[in-house]
Amino acid sequence: MKIVVLGCGFGGVEVARELRKRSKELDIIMIDRRARLEYLAVHPEILSAKVTPEEISGDLNKFASEIGAKFIQDTVVDLDFKAKKVKAGGNGHEIAYDFLVIAIGAEQTFFGIQGAEALSCSVNTLNGALETKNALDQLDYVKKANIAVIGGGLTGVEVAGELNDYFDDRGAQAKIYLVEMMPRVLPAFPKEKVSKYVAKILADRGVEILTETAVQEVGEEAITFTDGSKRPYDLVIWTAGIKPNSLLEKLDIPKVKGWLKADSYLRVSECVFAVGDTLSYECAGVRSGQNVEEAERQGRVAAANIIRTIKGVGLVRYRPKNTIQNPRAFLSLGSDKAVMYFNGLVLTVFAYRLKKFVEHRYMKRFHVCSVKSTKCKGI
């Protein structure tokens, strides 16, 4: 049986790992356009140089060979569900499958705002984070630089915190402003107290927080807001919004607002499963969040259901835990401070150390694998 795992981020890697844990027989093929898994949640810390690219990314080829899978680095351009083939790259390379798992994540969106994509930096990819760090290093520090962070969600507040550390380390001054369209930062978190706590920490370190402020245009030197006001900038870092992977546009399969739709066993069709950010999953009015925890949990359920389908036994239902209605997350805020938001509780003591522990434990599977064993240390 040949299982193709398309996309090797958190969801795809977990599918491959779980499939191998459950069966030594399967032929597992992992495909990704990147050579390395990127730990996106830690990208803001690239800016303050607290982490290196090597520490927060893992060699997918090495990971695949550790678990007895094959890794292909290529961009998938189309899927032929009838012929059960994945079409990769410009040379029309086709890979056949018996089961396919789509785990291609999401893409950054600039909402069609004029100038936003062309003139902003980003931390959504490792290369983007490195380029943003490079752009920071190139700024003219004779004058006070203006740095605009667009989007006051999880990534935006983390970026603002790390920028403070960056400027503190250099002994340089900058005006950092964080722009959020909604009335408070972290609008996706149901409890307002987490927003207030985070806003105060950032404001105490000099970040200006502009809520109920929407970007209309990013010009060469200034940002124009929808109320007509303008702010000059030296660097814009865009952290607002994600959209479905553009590959989905050409696929004729069930979708919700462009995101993949799966049944409660994570099946898009009989032999095609989907996991992670590419999916919009709702169960009894509760919607799965697009986060690492859910991508991994979905990965394990999809793998279990592929094996169960092969064996002809009943499938297990997927029930989201880290949901839109009840999200949980770690947020780092710079200067070794973090917040853990869990079941409506805001925990601050040891949160940064706990966050680092979780990240380190995850990355161990890429950095400390024994060559022969399929059970890497740290898994």
| Interacting residue ranges for ligand FAD, rule: CB under 6 A | 7-12, 31-34, 40-41, 43, 75-76, 103-105, 123-124, 154-155, 245, 247, 276-278, 290-293, 295, 329
Taking the least distance from each CB to ligand FAD, the nearer of 91 and 312 is: 91
CB of residue 302 to ligand FAD, shortest distance in Å:
11
Taking the least distance from each CB to ligand FAD, the nearer of 120 and 231 is: 120
CB of residue 43 to ligand FAD, shortest distance in Å:
5
Closest CA to 58 of 71, 48, 45: 71
For residue 269 the two structure tokens come to 């069709």
Taking the least distance from each CB to ligand FAD, the nearer of 56 and 103 is: 103
Taking the least distance from each CB to ligand FAD, the nearer of 33 and 361 is: 33
Taking the least distance from each CB to ligand FAD, the nearer of 18 and 277 is: 277
Taking the least distance from each CB to ligand FAD, the nearer of 18 and 32 is: 32
Cα–chain-centroid distance for residue 303? 21
Taking the least distance from each CB to ligand FAD, the nearer of 26 and 247 is: 247
CB of residue 323 to ligand FAD, shortest distance in Å:
12
Closest CA to 30 of 64, 75, 81: 64
CB of residue 330 to ligand FAD, shortest distance in Å:
6
Instruction: Measure the CA–CA gap between 111 and 91, rounded to whole angstroms.
Output: 32
Taking the least distance from each CB to ligand FAD, the nearer of 22 and 87 is: 87
CB of residue 251 to ligand FAD, shortest distance in Å:
11
Taking the least distance from each CB to ligand FAD, the nearer of 10 and 197 is: 10
CB of residue 205 to ligand FAD, shortest distance in Å:
20
CB of residue 57 to ligand FAD, shortest distance in Å:
10
CB of residue 61 to ligand FAD, shortest distance in Å:
13
**C-alpha torsion sign, points 39, 40, 44, 46:** positive
CB of residue 281 to ligand FAD, shortest distance in Å:
12
